[in-house]
Amino acid sequence: MDIRIAFAHPAVTLAIAIATTTFGAGPALAQGASAPAPKGSAEAELAAAQEEARVLAERAAGAALIDTTPPVLRRINITGNVNAQQVGQSVDADIQVTDNLSGVVYYYVSLRSPSGNQTLFRVKRPPAPFTNVSSTVTLGLEPYSHPGFTKFSEPGTWVADYFYAYDANGNTISYNEFQLRSLGDTQFHVTNFGPYDIVPPRLLSGVIETRTVRLSKPPAFTSPGTMPYASGNMTISDSGNGTFSGPYSAYLAFCLPDGGGGCIDSLLMYGETNRSGISQSTVIVGTQLKANQRTGVYEMWYIQLADLAGNSRYINTNFRNYFPTTTVVVNR
């Protein structure tokens, strides 16, 4: 099975490494390993989609006559403009994506702001596989898109910067900003006469609350066999350009090294702030371990923070500047 995936989107290469064996600047997971993929960001969404496509492909590998060709994006044309100071703003995208045999079951399109700091995305899952998906879809309006345009949106020329799709047999395809440009009009204008926010949140400090986790020890007052949780917290501040949107989500990832620059297994803690519009928040992040979680010393891998306006910050070095300890020990 030929699974061709080129995650060219600058913001997603990192989290994608969780779910693949071959991509990303950081260490990648070994074959067969999997990681949780919480909702809430473009990175998590793409990591989850990648994993789904991989499972589909694996499942199909034993079949006799199978589809081995990914879908093709035929056109993408964006129309409309956005006035960021008004609510409910969006643009329309006329999109056609076709597939030769098994049919399209998933596509993803993201938009970026002029600076590239703000991104938003929409996922479309045809309810059944279709060989020709041709429709005009709304982009930039919640709950269709994540996030939506807000009063914090950056003014200027925005552009569709990434497209990803897979068919019912797990064949995947992606297009970068320049490839998309050759398939239609991928630009539109955002007007914002108010202050906005293109500054990513900043990490002030963090703490790992569960420095040791025992797989055989269920959380208090739960039935035997219930898997334990790992958690931590991070204190995050946000600023902007005359105003700020406030910290929104936080990821804290750990890698169980395989000794060769990759990860045998991983932990992905996730959390969201309680309230919007607060300049500084302490976010609790956590995850429940898997039944087949590998034991060992998990090392801090990366941190990703996002604000409500869609600006995100990625940290993958100098963890000691923020955290007194940087490992989670998982025992039997």
Shortest Cβ 200–Ca ion spacing (Å) = 6
The binder of Ca ion chosen from 167, 251, 269, 271 (CB under 5 A)? 167
The binder of Ca ion chosen from 52, 161, 177, 307 (CB under 5 A)? 307
Q: Which is nearer to Ca ion, 154 or 197 (CB)?
A: 197
Shortest Cβ 315–Ca ion spacing (Å) = 16
Shortest Cβ 134–Ca ion spacing (Å) = 16
Distance (Å, whole) CA 315 – CA 201: 11
Neighbours of 4 (CB within 10 A): 10
Residue 177 engages Ca ion in binding (rule: CB under 5 A): no
Distance (Å, whole) CA 306 – CA 312: 4
Alpha helices by DSSP H, listed for the chain, are 13-19, 42-60, 177-181
Q: Which is nearer to Ca ion, 69 or 83 (CB)?
A: 69
Q: Which residues between 193 and 232 bind Ca ion (CB under 5 A)?
A: 197, 199
Distance (Å, whole) CA 276 – CA 288: 26
Separation in Å, CA 100 to CA 56, 133, 185: 17, 12, 25
CB under 8 Å to 153, separation ≥6 — which residues? 82, 84, 113, 118, 190, 192, 196, 309
The binder of Ca ion chosen from 43, 45, 161, 238 (CB under 5 A)? 238
Residue 99 engages Ca ion in binding (rule: CB under 5 A): yes
Q: Which is nearer to Ca ion, 51 or 167 (CB)?
A: 167
Shortest Cβ 28–Ca ion spacing (Å) = 26
CB under 8 Å to 89, separation ≥6 — which residues? 82, 83, 140, 141, 148, 149
Q: Which is nearer to Ca ion, 289 or 305 (CB)?
A: 305
The binder of Ca ion chosen from 67, 154, 177, 265 (CB under 5 A)? 67
Q: Which residues between 104 and 133 bind Ca ion (CB under 5 A)?
A: none
Distance (Å, whole) CA 246 – CA 280: 7
Q: Which amino acid, 92?
A: D
Sole residue written with tokens 């998982």: 330
Could you tell me the two tokens for 45?
């969404």
Residue 154 engages Ca ion in binding (rule: CB under 5 A): no
Shortest Cβ 262–Ca ion spacing (Å) = 30
Binding segment for Ca ion (CB under 5 A), chosen from 9-17, 28-36, 173-181, 307-315, is: 307-315
Binding site for Ca ion (CB under 5 A): 67, 69, 99-101, 167, 171, 197, 199, 238, 240, 244, 307
